[in-house]
Amino acid sequence: MTSGVNRWGMSDSTPSAVPPAEPDAASAVVAVAAPQPSIAALCLAFAGVSITSFGGVLAWARRMLVENKGWMTAQEFNDLLALCQFLPGPNIVNLCAVFGARMRGIPGALACLVGLLGPVVLMIAAGAAYRRFGALPEMHGMLSGLAAAAAGAVIAAAVKMAEPLVRVRLGPQHAVALATFVAVGLLRLSLPLVLLVIVPVSIGLAWRRADEK
């Protein structure tokens, strides 16, 4: 499930959407030639990506790993991304940890995470500013505009993700998506509870679909 939009509603299409698997001979050569990065290099590289990328880190992480540093081939990146989308949790964070672990073991994973999550310091500053000034009338308009834009971006993400469903015949997948939306979005039931029921059902249906093919 490699959509061009990440789960937060921000388009990952800058600078370029994560492309489908492509032969990438140039970066493959670089990947072989590149020496294994040091712990410090890993941390700095992810810190650089994190602090300079607005609106979705994924595309910028790809550019750094594949094009600039040559630490992975395009194919390796796509495979790892697919894996991280398969597993629970924030995709880019998982990707960064698994990559770091493959390079330098647990210290490598921690170094990458520290770099990627460095902006938490910035968030603490932003959070403090919000608590202090967020309710001021001068801020009211700006925050309202920003929040309305964020809503539009998440709706766009949801629609882009739903597109593949529009193309297939109405079936159990549509029922599962709708049931999840109603249970979590409208009825406001507990997420873990809903997932414990609906995920096994959905996987069972997918298993049977595979039978029919």
Partner 1 sequence: MRSDPATLAALFLQFAVLSLFAIGGGGSAVPEMHRQSVEIAQLLTDRQFSELFAIAQAAPGPNIMFVALLGHFIAGAPGAAVATVAMCGPSCVLACAVSQVVERFRKARWRMAIQAGLVPVTIGLIAASALIIARGADRNWASFAITATTFAAVYGTRLSPRVVFACAALAGLVGFV
Site for partner 1 in 12-31 (CB under 8 A): 13-14
Shortest approach of partner 1 to residue 26 CB, angstroms?
A: 24
Binders in 108-167 for partner 1, by CB under 8 A: 109, 113, 116-120, 122-124, 126-128, 130-131, 134, 140-162, 164-165
Nearer to partner 1, 26 or 106 (CB): 106
Nearer to partner 1, 44 or 179 (CB): 179
Nearer to partner 1, 29 or 208 (CB): 208
The single residue among 28, 39, 41, 101 that binds partner 1, judged by CB under 8 A, is 101
Rg (CA), the chain: 20
> Which one of the spans 19-27, 35-43, 67-75, 197-205 is the region binding partner 1 (CB under 8 A)?
197-205
The single residue among 92, 103, 104, 111 that binds partner 1, judged by CB under 8 A, is 92
The single residue among 97, 103, 104, 111 that binds partner 1, judged by CB under 8 A, is 97
Cα(190)–Cα(184) distance, integer angstroms? 7
131's enclosing H/E stretch is helix 120-133
Nearer to partner 1, 33 or 166 (CB): 166
Nearer to partner 1, 28 or 82 (CB): 82
One-letter amino acid identity for 40?
A: A
Nearer to partner 1, 29 or 123 (CB): 123
**C-beta of residue 28 within 8 angstroms of C-beta of residue 76:** no
Q: How far is CA 212 from CA 165, 185, 209, in A?
A: 18, 32, 5
Judged by DSSP in three states, 5 sits in strand
The residues near 76 (Cβ < 8 Å, ≥ 6 apart) are 31
Judged by DSSP in three states, 90 sits in coil
Shortest approach of partner 1 to residue 39 CB, angstroms?
A: 16
Question: Could you give the string, one character per residue 68-87, with x where binding to partner 1 holds by CB under 8 A and - elsewhere?
Answer: -----------x---xxxxx
The single residue among 68, 69, 93, 107 that binds partner 1, judged by CB under 8 A, is 93
Cα(118)–Cα(212) distance, integer angstroms? 48
The single residue among 36, 52, 132, 133 that binds partner 1, judged by CB under 8 A, is 52
Q: How far is CA 151 from CA 94, 144, 194, in A?
A: 25, 11, 24
- Say which DSSP state 134 is in: T
Cα(60)–Cα(29) distance, integer angstroms? 21
